[in-house]
Amino acid sequence: MDLKVPPFLVILIPLLLSYIGTGGDAAHSTASSPSPSPRPSPVARGPAPPVTGGGRSTLDPRQLTALQSIGLSTTRDPCALPSPHDNATACDSASPFRHLVSLRLANCSPDVDLSPTALSALYTLRSLSLLRCPIPAPRRLPASLASSLRSFSCVSSLRRLNGVMLSRLENLTDLVVVDVPVSASGPAVVLSQMHHLRSLTISRANLSGRLPHHWHTLDLVHLDLSSNSLKGSIPSTISVLGYLQTLNLSSNALTGTLPDSIGDLIFLKNATFSQNSLSGPIPNSISQLSNLTHLDLSSNQLNGSIPRFLSEMKELKFLNLENNSFQGAIPFNATSIKRLEFFKVGGNSNLCYNHTLLSSKMKLGIAPCDKYGLPVSPPPDKSSKSDSDYSDDDGEDDDNENEKKRSGGHHGPSKLVLGVAIGLSCLVFLVIFLVCLSRMCG
Ligand SMILES: *[C@@H]1O[C@H](CO)[C@@H](O)[C@H](O)[C@H]1NC(C)=O
Ligand SMILES: *[C@@H]1O[C@H](CO)[C@@H](O)[C@H](O)[C@H]1NC(C)=O
Ligand SMILES: *[C@@H]1O[C@H](CO)[C@@H](O)[C@H](O)[C@H]1NC(C)=O
Ligand SMILES: *[C@@H]1O[C@H](CO)[C@@H](O)[C@H](O)[C@H]1NC(C)=O
Ligand SMILES: *[C@@H]1O[C@H](CO)[C@@H](O)[C@H](O)[C@H]1NC(C)=O
Ligand SMILES: *[C@@H]1O[C@H](CO)[C@@H](O)[C@H](O)[C@H]1NC(C)=O
Ligand SMILES: *[C@@H]1O[C@H](CO)[C@@H](O)[C@H](O)[C@H]1NC(C)=O
Ligand SMILES: *[C@@H]1O[C@H](CO)[C@@H](O)[C@H](O)[C@H]1NC(C)=O
Ligand SMILES: *[C@@H]1O[C@H](CO)[C@@H](O)[C@H](O)[C@H]1NC(C)=O
Ligand SMILES: *[C@@H]1O[C@H](CO)[C@@H](O)[C@H](O)[C@H]1NC(C)=O
């Protein structure tokens, strides 16, 4: 009697194991998608002591008049917080009269006039921000205002800015000019006097000329000169900007190679060189950028092979190498690709993937490699299941090994069916076994 129990266990154990197997596989296949990036918090306002007196403002009367002359409603104390609507003001806490330290004008009516008198009265401003105020630019900024300003932001405002006028804002730490044409022979004109700049954005500004060879702005942390008409090469002297964390030079007409000295920018986190005419290889010095999280080299004429270190960089989350002339096998396997939240290599006709390391299912937009490390065939322009954006070569016909591996390893439903089938047959066997047992006993 006792001898009949072991076969009973022999049936139950595989039943249990197959159940656990399918469960584990299902959990594994729920891949996580990239998480949204946190947004920087808005600029903090100045201190806010309570307003004194029955509705009367404590603001310097000259500044109050200036605000009225540029069309700001002052029925409410401009020093009171929070500021209403799009327009915002902030004051210091001086007495008897307080002074404006920050002014933001948004969505101006077209008749607003930034007169020299008004601007002179605003000599205490440390921050001036204009958003969608397409009024004529003042011909010049009064010297006292120019030296007081630490932050100047002009987005879709003032119709046109003059590079020389901007250069007079010598004490700026933050400069933002977006969607406003800037006339200057190059960025060097704007930057010539600014020694304290930490963040510079001049984007979609039709800025022409070349990148500076001599940099005075050694404290720069953020540099964005994207979407302009900059030409020439990226100077190797850019490495003097030793605190840079973000560099965006995308959508210009830059030529030449990526300088080796870029590896000296050891704090670099985000680097974007997309949409230029850069050529040559990816410099090996990039492997020294241990904090690099975002690298966009797309739409250039870069060539050579893709260096292995790119698949080993711990912090890298975003890698776009699309639309270049890279060649050879990509140094990535499924694990190193999964670690990235964004990965694109399509549009490189001489690039291929090693089909023993990667499945065609990943839709990388490149062909598998032959044994010489060359793409097996030119990627077909019109594949049967054409996705208008990418010419995916799924290489399934010449890739039977992968086909097998996939259906065996990753298809959840087929594994589930198998498990259920085994389970059911075990159950039937168990019932027969128990019936036999009861007959023997009975
Ligand atoms: C903000 O200020 C500008 C310029 O003075 C003015 O044209 C606009 O109407 C103001 N907007 C609001 C909502 O008060
Ligand atoms: C701003 O810049 C001017 C000229 O460069 C300088 O004289 C002044 O000390 C700086 N600081 C302030 C607070 O104006
Ligand atoms: C952009 O700059 C070019 C010269 O560099 C000039 O001819 C053109 O008018 C500018 N465009 C705008 C919109 O300012
Ligand atoms: C770089 O600039 C482009 C164009 O202005 C913009 O679309 C892109 O988001 C920027 N990239 C980064 C990483 O800031
Ligand atoms: C990388 O970033 C960390 C934290 O942001 C910082 O402590 C470290 O110094 C950085 N390393 C380099 C080489 O920039
Ligand atoms: C830097 O890159 C990361 C990863 O792609 C992105 O989430 C972040 O918004 C970028 N930051 C800036 C300032 O461009
Ligand atoms: C890359 O392109 C340059 C010309 O831009 C050429 O001289 C060089 O030989 C190319 N390198 C490779 C590896 O194809
Ligand atoms: C690469 O080229 C394709 C086809 O021309 C285009 O659709 C895609 O937007 C390009 N990618 C980038 C990052 O520019
Ligand atoms: C995948 O690539 C990474 C980085 O190149 C490497 O460290 C790892 O050993 C590779 N894994 C496999 C399974 O080949
Ligand atoms: C593909 O990967 C395998 C295993 O790592 C390696 O033996 C083979 O040489 C690689 N093939 C090519 C073309 O790189």
Instruction: Determine the pLDDT at residue 76.
Output: 78
Residue 260 CB less than 6 A away from ligand 9: no
Residue 367 CB less than 6 A away from ligand 10: no
Instruction: Determine the pLDDT at residue 344.
Output: 96
DSSP, collapsed to helix, strand or coil, labels residue 142 as coil
Instruction: Determine the pLDDT at residue 420.
Output: 58
Instruction: Pick the ligand that lies closest to the CA of residue 335.
Output: 9
Instruction: Determine the pLDDT at residue 100.
Output: 93
Q: Residue 340, CB half-sphere, CA atoms under 13 Å: how many?
A: 21
Best of 92, 125, 145, 147 to mutate for ligand 2, by most ligand atoms within 8 A of CB?
147
Dihedral over Cα of 34, 288, 258, 220: its sign:
positive
- Ligand 7 atom closest to the Cα of residue 301 is 5
Over 90: is that where the pLDDT of 231 sits?
yes
Instruction: Determine the pLDDT at residue 433.
Output: 64
**pLDDT by residue (tens digit) across 296-306?**
999 999 999 99
Residue 208 CB less than 6 A away from ligand 3: yes
* CA–centroid distance for 92 within its chain: 36
Instruction: Pick the ligand that lies closest to the CA of residue 265.
Output: 5
Query: What is the 209 CA–ligand 3 centroid distance (Å)?
Result: 12
Instruction: Determine the pLDDT at residue 113.
Output: 87
Instruction: Determine the pLDDT at residue 426.
Output: 61
**pLDDT by residue (tens digit) across 28-37?**
333 333 333 3
* CA–centroid distance for 7 within its chain: 60
Over 70: is that where the pLDDT of 248 sits?
yes
**pLDDT by residue (tens digit) across 88-102?**
888 888 888 899 999
Instruction: Determine the pLDDT at residue 397.
Output: 37
Instruction: Determine the pLDDT at residue 43.
Output: 34
Q: What is the mean pLDDT of residues 322-344?
A: 95
Instruction: Determine the pLDDT at residue 391.
Output: 35
Q: What is the mean pLDDT of residues 211-239?
A: 96
Higher-pLDDT residue of 179 and 430 is: 179
Residue 338 CB less than 6 A away from ligand 9: no
Over 70: is that where the pLDDT of 398 sits?
no
Range name among 183-187, 314-318, 382-386 with the lowest pLDDT average: 382-386
Over 90: is that where the pLDDT of 419 sits?
no
- Ligand 8 atom closest to the Cα of residue 389 is 7
Higher-pLDDT residue of 120 and 11 is: 120
**pLDDT by residue (tens digit) across 404-417?**
333 333 344 455 55
Instruction: Pick the ligand that lies closest to the CA of residue 173.
Output: 2
Q: What is the mean pLDDT of residues 108-117?
A: 88
Give, using CA atoms, the residue closest to atom 6 of ligand 2: 147
Higher-pLDDT residue of 398 and 371 is: 371
Mean pLDDT of the chain: 80
Instruction: Pick the ligand that lies closest to the CA of residue 357.
Output: 10
Residue 354 CB less than 6 A away from ligand 10: yes
Residue 70 CB less than 6 A away from ligand 1: yes
Higher-pLDDT residue of 181 and 10 is: 181
| Angle at which helices 5-28 and 412-441 cross, to 10° | 160
Cα diameter, the chain: 113
Over 90: is that where the pLDDT of 213 sits?
yes
DSSP, collapsed to helix, strand or coil, labels residue 379 as coil
- 0.85 exceeded by pTM: no
Query: What is the 323 CA–ligand 8 centroid distance (Å)?
Result: 6
Query: What is the 333 CA–ligand 9 centroid distance (Å)?
Result: 6
Instruction: Determine the pLDDT at residue 37.
Output: 37
Query: What is the 132 CA–ligand 1 centroid distance (Å)?
Result: 11
**DSSP one-letter code for 213:** S
Query: What is the 305 CA–ligand 9 centroid distance (Å)?
Result: 18
Residue 336 CB less than 6 A away from ligand 9: yes
Residue 170 CB less than 6 A away from ligand 2: yes
C-beta separation of 12 from 426 below 8 A: yes
Instruction: Determine the pLDDT at residue 89.
Output: 87
